[in-house]
A and B are shown apart, each in its own frame.
Chain A
């Protein structure tokens, strides 16, 4: 699951390396469009809908991963 998750992020943000400590809003490709893409991918892949307010509280790749783990457990 962890590998798939990292692959999704690489795809969305078009980067080669993703670290768990990364703040994904700091990536060069971060925009309202990648924001939409990420939320839509989480819905497609994990069937989870993160609303805007919650999403704003999630800052790092690790926090996002943990959120998915909790919700899919």
Chain B
């Protein structure tokens, strides 16, 4: 394989890497030669991800992205990075009529504000290398609506706009910024979206490829975005959803 796709020699940060998609991204980045720095709140989950990673030289940082002091401390601990994957995210399904202020705050704090503050700090500390790559994990929910997910969709829409705006700002430094918009991927996050088994079955009919995503499906796209193969791609919002959004 042409080694333009390799991550060899690259230092990469992955947020929300204690389980789910973030864990898979960490493992697959390690297989592709990256030196991986992972973060989340749950240290046991992070340890498990560490054990799944291939080579040595990776490290973990426990931090709550919803707490500014912890975000700042994380930025200080980290080395100079070639790649960032902003993957941490939460979902709380609720009709707008019943949304509580606290629910809005926690969703936006984790899904967007924490990532913005982290990037701001890293830029201030000059810890994102020229020609680096920043990759957000947004969601197809930012484009195609399902009832009850207004706050989640709004937070992901905010990620899309921020991605494009930051791409413009960082282009002179050769730093690229893109977002991945996955459709339904089977992880624990489904439990928090209060989706019933029946709804899930009906939802599957809207996936022309005939199955929901696996975390690896997303990870391979992220590897591409972190590698030099995507050197000319910036400000892009990449849908990856088994055809859901064209069905």
Among the 9-residue stretches A19-27, A33-41, A65-73, the one with 4 or more Cβ atoms under 8 Å from chain B is A33-41
Please indicate the chain A residues that have their CB under 8 angstroms from the CB of B148 in the complex: 32-33, 36-37
Does chain A have a CB within 8 A of B194? yes
Interface string of B64-105 (1 = CB under 8 A from A): 000000000000000000000000000001110110100000
Does chain B have a CB within 8 A of A52? yes
Please indicate the chain B residues that have their CB under 8 angstroms from the CB of A36 in the complex: 93-95, 148, 194
Please indicate the chain B residues that have their CB under 8 angstroms from the CB of A31 in the complex: 147
Please determine whether B147 and A39 come into contact, CB atoms closer than 8 angstroms: no
Does chain A have a CB within 8 A of B3? no
Please determine whether A37 and B196 come into contact, CB atoms closer than 8 angstroms: no
Residues 28-62 of A contacting B (Cβ, < 8 Å): 31-37, 39-41, 44, 52-53, 55
* A: number of interface residues (CB 8 Å): 15
Please indicate the chain A residues that have their CB under 8 angstroms from the CB of B197 in the complex: 52-53
Please determine whether B93 and A40 come into contact, CB atoms closer than 8 angstroms: yes
Known: A32-B199, A52-B196, A52-B197. A37 touches B95 (CB 8 A): yes
Cross-chain contact of A32 among B97, B98, B100, B196 (Cβ < 8 A): B196
Please determine whether B98 and A39 come into contact, CB atoms closer than 8 angstroms: no
For the complex, what is the distance from the CA of A15 to the CA of B194, rounded to whole Å? 23
For A32, A37, A53, A55, which residue has the most chain B Cβ atoms within 10 angstroms? A32
Residues 187-229 of B contacting A (Cβ, < 8 Å): 194, 196-199
Please indicate the chain B residues that have their CB under 8 angstroms from the CB of A12 in the complex: 98
Please determine whether B98 and A40 come into contact, CB atoms closer than 8 angstroms: yes
Known: A32-B147, A33-B147, A36-B93. A41 touches B98 (CB 8 A): yes
Please determine whether A37 and B98 come into contact, CB atoms closer than 8 angstroms: yes
Please determine whether B194 and A40 come into contact, CB atoms closer than 8 angstroms: yes
Ordered by A's residue number, 26 sampled pairs between the chains whose C-beta atoms are within 8 Å are A12-B98, A32-B147, A32-B148, A32-B196, A32-B199, A33-B95, A33-B147, A34-B95, A35-B196, A36-B93, A36-B94, A36-B95, A37-B94, A37-B98, A37-B148, A39-B194, A40-B93, A40-B94, A40-B194, A41-B98, A44-B100, A52-B196, A52-B197, A52-B198, A53-B197, A55-B196
- What are the 6 tightest A-B residue pairs by CB atom distance, in nearest-first order? A52-B196, A36-B194, A33-B147, A37-B95, A36-B148, A33-B148
A36-B95, A52-B196, A55-B196 known, 13 other contacts, Cβ within 8 Å: A32-B148, A32-B196, A32-B199, A33-B148, A34-B95, A36-B94, A36-B148, A37-B94, A37-B148, A40-B93, A40-B94, A40-B194, A52-B197
B-contacting residues of A (Cβ < 8 Å)?
12, 31-37, 39-41, 44, 52-53, 55
